[in-house]
Each structure stands twice: as C-alpha cells, then as structure tokens.
Amino acid sequence: MTAPTIGAALRAATARLSAAGIADPGRDARLLLAHAANIPADRLRLHEDEPFEAESRLDILLGDRLRHKPVAMILGARDFWGRRFRVTPDTLVPRPETETLIEAALSIGFDRLLDLGTGSGVIAVTLLAEQSSATGLATDLSGAALAVARQNADAAGLGTRLRCRRSDWYEEVTGRFDLIVSNPPYIGRAELAGLAPDVRDWDPPMALCPGEDALGAYRAICAGAQAHLTADGVLMVEIGASQGAQVAQLFQAAGFVDIQTIPDLDGRDRVIYGRNPPL
C-alpha cells in the first residue's frame, strides 16, 4: 500500500481532530504530524508532497490528543517567551497569559528573585535568562516538579544562578528578595468540574486547586511576603480573571502600597502587584 503524502496525512489528521471537537485542529495536527515525522513544524509545508512513513506513530499521538491530553504534554515541551521548556504530568502547562507577568516583572527590574510554586520553572527561568545579573530561588511542594524546573534551568544555562528548593510556600525560605512572583493554584474545588478536559484531566490538581477557598494560596503568599521582601520590594502574582478586586484587597490588608492590576492581551485582569513600603 502506497504511503500518503505528508500533505494528505495532515489534512486527514486535521479532519479527525475537528470531528472530535478539538478547539484548534489544524494547529494541533500540524504539531503532532511534525513530531511524528521529525520535521520542524514551521517547515512542514516544504515537505507536503513527500511520502509520510510515520502513520502508526501519528495514530498514537492523535489518540492521546483525542483523549484531550494537551499537545505540550504529548510532545513533552512547550515554547514560552522564545524558549522551549520541558513539561510533564507533574507540571502545569505554561500558558501564554503568563507572559503578562513576565513583561511586568522585567519592566521593574530586580536582583534577587523568589518564585513560589515554580512548577516547570517557566517564570523563574525566563526572568533570570532575561535579567542576566540576577539570581533566584524557585520553590515548590512537588519534588517531581522541582526536578523539571532544574532541568529547564540547566537547559537555559543558568547554572547556580537559580536554586530550587522544596518548600510549602515560605516554610524553607530564608533571606530577603526584591521581587517575589507566583502563579499559584487559584481554582476552587467547586469549579474544577467546569474546566475544559484538557486542563481538568491532565494538569496536576495541586497546581490548579488550593482547596475549597480559591484565594487560599494568595492569603498565604500575602501573609508571608513582607518578611521576605526588601524595603521597596515587589510582590507580583498571576490571578484568575474574576479575582482582581479580591486579591488587591488582600494586598492592601497585608500593607502593600502602589497596588496595580495589569490586564492580559484579551483585556482580562491577569496580574496584581504591590510594593513593600520603604523603611
């Protein structure tokens, strides 16, 4: 039996994903087929007329996607801020919205960084890679996630500039930092059932849900932040789209000043930051 061309295989894969209701079937089919064929996705069109010899491998990849496994987890990597990061079932898949926090953090500058609940390390690694004179500490309660963060830090060439430590928020953190960042779990347990299956069934529950109280992680972060910030240091967190006012109130109650809410590119509240009062 003659193998289909890469172009024909791509069209068939797109149709299969589309029929199953996958949100962006063309993009996902292109990424999965490129992976199966060992061809860079941005060069796939140059090979459309060539025979496709990896049908069985692609079928396995498509089967995973039809079970709503995120493409990043199928491929084991996700691009973010121009770099490729390893992801596993132990880490949250990096979202484009988190680039709002990256942009805001880079605009204020920092020398010592603390990233709470680092997951894959995408925030800490990106910030230190962009701020070449800075050093940082990345913490997570999951040892498996920390191992992934360490691998991503090493791949970015950070060496000893980023330390990784297992900690329940500030429990194992010492010293002071001029920037504390976090993308904590912020989905209440009652909300989990309503999430898209790509998120609900595949992202690690600990990275999504802090418990019954969707703001529980923010309460813990705000409560300990000033003891670990320098005078005039900044706390910056990613939030759910409807949580801006509530998290800003937590910042205010904790004594932060110059509190601001930053929207993402879709105009939704995405980042809250506040400054530790100077001495």
Radius of gyration for the chain, computed over Cα atoms and rounded to the nearest angstrom: 21
Mark whether 176 and 48 lie in a shared domain.
no
At residue 3, the pLDDT reads 81
Give 71-100 pLDDT, tens digit per residue: 999 999 999 999 999 999 999 999 999 999
Q: How many residues does the chain have?
A: 279
User: Half-sphere exposure of 163 toward its Cβ, with a 13 Å CA cutoff?
Assistant: 12
Q: Which domain holds residue 12?
A: 6-67
Per-residue confidence (pLDDT) for residue 207, from 0 to 100 = 93
Assess whether 36 and 142 both reside in one domain: no
Domain count across the chain: 2
- 102 plus 233 within the same structural domain: yes
Average pLDDT, rounded, for the chain: 96
In the block, residue with structure tokens 């770099």: 83
The answer to whether residue 1 scores a pLDDT higher than 70 is no
pLDDT digits (tens, 9 = 90+) for 128-166: 999 999 999 999 999 999 999 999 999 999 999 999 999
**Residue carrying the six token digits 């530790």:** 276
Residue 72 lies in a domain: no
pTM for this model (two decimals) = 0.94
Which residues, including other chains, have CB under 8 Å from residue 80's CB and lie 6 or more apart? 94, 96, 98, 99, 122, 126
CB atoms within 10 A of CB 268: 14
57 HSE (CA, 13 A, CB side): 12
Residue-wise over 56-66: b if at least 16 C-beta within 10 A, else e?
eebeebbebbe
